[in-house]
Amino acid sequence: MRRPTRHVSVKDVAARSGVSFQTTSKVLNGGGSVSDATRARILQAASDLGYVPNLQARSLVMQRTRTVGLIAGDFSDPGLSRSLAGAEQEARRQGYGLLLTSIEPEGSGTEYALPAMMERRVDGILLAAPQMEEDTALSHVLDPTLPVVSLNHIAGRSVSTVCADDEQAGYIATHHLLQGGHRVVGVLTGIRGLRLTQSRQLGYRKALEEAGVESANDLVEEAGTDVAGGLAGLPRLLERRPDVSAVFCHHDLVAVGALTALRAIGKRVPEDCSVAGCDGLDSAAYTTPPLTTVHVPFYEIGAEAMRLLLKMVAGGSPTGAKVVVPVQLIARASTASPPGRGGSARGPARRAR
Amino acid sequence: MRRPTRHVSVKDVAARSGVSFQTTSKVLNGGGSVSDATRARILQAASDLGYVPNLQARSLVMQRTRTVGLIAGDFSDPGLSRSLAGAEQEARRQGYGLLLTSIEPEGSGTEYALPAMMERRVDGILLAAPQMEEDTALSHVLDPTLPVVSLNHIAGRSVSTVCADDEQAGYIATHHLLQGGHRVVGVLTGIRGLRLTQSRQLGYRKALEEAGVESANDLVEEAGTDVAGGLAGLPRLLERRPDVSAVFCHHDLVAVGALTALRAIGKRVPEDCSVAGCDGLDSAAYTTPPLTTVHVPFYEIGAEAMRLLLKMVAGGSPTGAKVVVPVQLIARASTASPPGRGGSARGPARRAR
DNA sequence: GACGGCTGGGCGAACGTTCCCTGTCCGCGC
DNA sequence: GCGCGGACAGGGAACGTTCGCCCAGCCGTC
């Protein structure tokens, strides 16, 4: 429990170069007027001693830490993990530290994550936890002067958000299926209640409506976000509506589960049933058959959110901004025309690999 | 650029409750002898004012920040991302903050990541970046008194490491194939030079040797860590050795690529060629056919590493410890006996799903 | 009734910075 | 010869804590 050997401070450097520590500070920050001779001497001493400035002390007087907090949900989620990478990279590029906390699936974040960040006096907070959407206490406990950007919708206080154009995502995926000639299009949705799910669902409905096609409640099945959800959800959907010839999955992992489930019951994809996903995970390119999906630029979303946050921190803060990032259809082999119809389901894909 | 509205400090709380700020400090830390009356008054004032202690200031005098640094490689890597989750969870459980930095694939980490952590005076550092294995400057620039734990082998200075039993992983995967009756077992390795790759390769060789089976150089092909690597590596391997009837892939993603490549050239799995992976990714359960793999407990490794690091930080530090975590075979449908042989390749799997 | 110990509380210093202001010295112009 | 301004350096305070020590009372004891 002994304190570690003390670090070298400006005073040590000052002592070694025979000046006051204030002058040393000046030199090390590039400011003030100091003669070249002493400047050189100080720099030399600092390097000899291996001086490393103490950001804690600096933060104390500057009232800013050059550190931002990131409260994340489950980062096994590939999308979130990409966004995290983007955010981290941008923070690093601008010389900011990143304090990371995640919150348990059922946890509120208000109890631990937020206090922990506040105590450490982060300059701003990036929220990347879907489950915080519901937390009404959140906007309450949040210091209103602290810059916050979220990747999810936040109830109450109007915080800036950056997210994908999820309605468009739902729309183009469904549109793609309809264009292939499908008339009975089922949907396996994400987690009920999330903005993400609502938006994608909105896009799905819009596409159906536009095509003058039935949009029945029994075509909708909640399946969550993972493979297991698709594995369980698809049979439920098919039992209710054996006539579906195409399924739009809100999440690629669910689509993977759906593919597996279809194979298990002897349905061929895409001959008997088309499947389209959403998220644009890398792994979607390697399913059997390769999955048609909508690419969501998670990395860029994370980076953009961090960029916005740091802009707010720096002061020029259009707080309450809502940034929407465009998405792209990636048509692959999991979608085709329904049984007994000619033509291809391939829509106007702008990118595929 | 205005400074944000000032935070409330112990002095504010003290003023409101009519005592000195030192007494306030005592109360807030639970220490010292203070009468119940004043204690209550102070607590009330603190809560009224919404006092949040300033860990920066506390760190300054305590000489410890209750924050650890984590230098990660690419966290799109599912394994690393799991370890990160484990480490974060454990740090949080013990009330430590986690400062996250990643380093670019070619970056050295010595230039940015380390200085950034040192300036912020982290209490310890967790290294989770395979590319740092080569960095000889690292052990040089690292403060020798700073606790460090790595998930990878680190050249030079003997730092504590926590990692999976990768030799065993390579061994049981290969053993499983041999036991199924295969005699020509190819291997798609991970990144050349990494300890991870060397260990798995060692296990592979050991199994072959033990079974008295050929271990030729032309059975070995470097394929990296991702799907694309497997996609490209498998044809190269097969071109050289068309007689391989089973392939061990150092990484599940490579195995996914191998499966896809095999299908593309019309080979059936496992009838014409068995494929075994390694890492135990969730997605391995959903390939076609489901992938036999070796489960590596990434989450637990991350958590264990953090536990060890915090133990070192707290003082009881068996520095230089090497923790090895066991792995488990998960037999699935991608492995079977070679063409023209009866029997099953299923080995003694202790877990499958 | 003097003294010792305990209890409640305050004072001063320190941690490592930055910022603002005050000196000192010099050369120069009037 | 005197003041003046610029270049250079240092002093003091502040940021928000914790810690060690001291001081004032009060009680009990011999």
Give the pair of three-digit tokens for residue B55. 């860990």
CATH topology of domain A10-53: 434 Repressor (Amino-terminal Domain) (1.10.260)
One DSSP character per residue, A234-282 reads HHHHHHH-TT--EEEESSHHHHHHHHHHHHHTT--TTTT-EEE--B--G
Q: Cβ(B188)–Cβ(B258) under 8 Å?
A: yes
A34 nearest nucleotide via C1' and CA: D8
Which residue is it, tokens 């348990």? A104
CB contact under 8 A, B119 and A85: no
- For chain A, the distance separating the N- and C-terminal CA atoms, rounded to the nearest angstrom, is 56
The answer to whether the beta carbon of residue B38 comes closer than 7 angstroms to any atom of strand C is yes
Q: Rounded distance, CA B241 to CA B235, Å?
A: 10
Instruction: Name the band, by pLDDT with cuts 50, 70 and 90, for residue A340.
Output: confident
Using DSSP, state whether A65 is helix, strand or coil: coil
Distance A33 CA to D3 C1' (A): 24
Give B121's contacts in chain A (Cβ within 8 Å).
7, 54-56
CATH 1.10.260.40 in chain A is located at 10-53
Q: What is the pLDDT of residue B142?
A: 82
Q: How far is CA A289 from the centre of its chain?
A: 27
pLDDT at A136 over 90: no
**For domain A65-163+299-325, which architecture applies?**
3-Layer(aba) Sandwich (3.40)
Kind and range of the H or E run holding A301: helix A298-314
One DSSP character per residue, A164-211 reads E-HHHHHHHHHHHHHHTT-S-EEEEE-STT-HHHHHHHHHHHHHHHHT
Nearest alpha-carbon partner for B179 in B346, B350, B349: B346
Kind and range of the H or E run holding B207: helix B195-210
Give the pair of three-digit tokens for residue A148. 């916050």
Helix count (H) and strand count (E) of chain A?
A: 12, 12
* Domain spanning B63-164+299-324: CATH superfamily: Response regulator (3.40.50.2300)
pLDDT at A241 over 90: yes
pLDDT in tens, A66-113: 999 999 998 889 999 999 999 999 999 999 999 999 998 877 777 899
Which residue is it, tokens 């929407």? A324
The answer to whether the beta carbon of residue A38 comes closer than 7 angstroms to any atom of strand D is yes
Q: What is the pLDDT of residue A344?
A: 47
Give the pair of three-digit tokens for residue B32. 């010292």
Q: What is the pLDDT of residue B328?
A: 98
Digit-by-digit pLDDT tens for chain B (353 residues) are: 334 467 899 999 999 999 999 999 999 987 778 888 899 999 999 999 999 999 999 999 999 999 999 999 988 899 999 999 999 999 999 999 999 999 988 777 778 999 999 999 999 999 999 988 878 788 778 888 899 999 998 876 678 999 999 999 999 999 999 999 999 999 999 999 999 999 999 999 999 999 999 899 999 999 999 999 999 999 999 999 999 999 999 999 999 999 999 999 999 999 999 999 999 999 999 998 999 999 999 999 999 999 999 999 998 666 788 999 999 999 999 999 998 765 444 444 444 44
C-alpha dist (Å) from residue B130 to A52, A207, A331, B285: 26, 46, 35, 26
Residue B115: count other Cβ atoms within 10 Å of its Cβ. 14
Long-range contacts of B225-228 (CB under 8 A, 24+ apart): B225/B77, B225/B190, B225/B191, B225/B250, B225/B251, B225/B253, B225/B254, B226/B251, B226/B253, B226/B254, B226/B257, B227/A282, B227/A283, B227/A285, B227/A286, B227/B253, B227/B254, B227/B256, B227/B257, B227/B260, B228/B257
pLDDT in tens, A170-209: 999 999 999 999 999 999 999 999 999 999 999 999 999 9
Give B115's contacts in chain A (Cβ within 8 Å).
52
Closest residue to B84, CB basis, from A64, A75, A314: A75
Q: Rounded distance, CA B252 to CA B281, Å?
A: 7
Q: What is the largest CA-CA distance in chain A?
A: 91
CB contact under 8 A, A85 and B100: no
CATH 3.40.50.2300 in chain B is located at 63-164+299-324, 166-297
The answer to whether the beta carbon of residue A49 comes closer than 7 angstroms to any atom of strand C is no
- For chain B, the distance separating the N- and C-terminal CA atoms, rounded to the nearest angstrom, is 56
Task: State the nearest Cα–Cα gap between A320 and chain B, in angstroms.
Answer: 18
CATH 3.40.50.2300 in chain A is located at 65-163+299-325, 166-297
Q: What is the pLDDT of residue B256?
A: 96
One DSSP character per residue, B152-201 reads S--SSS--EEEEE-HHHHHHHHHHHHHHTT-S-EEEEE-STT-HHHHHHH
Residues found in chain A: 353
**For domain A166-297, which architecture applies?**
3-Layer(aba) Sandwich (3.40)
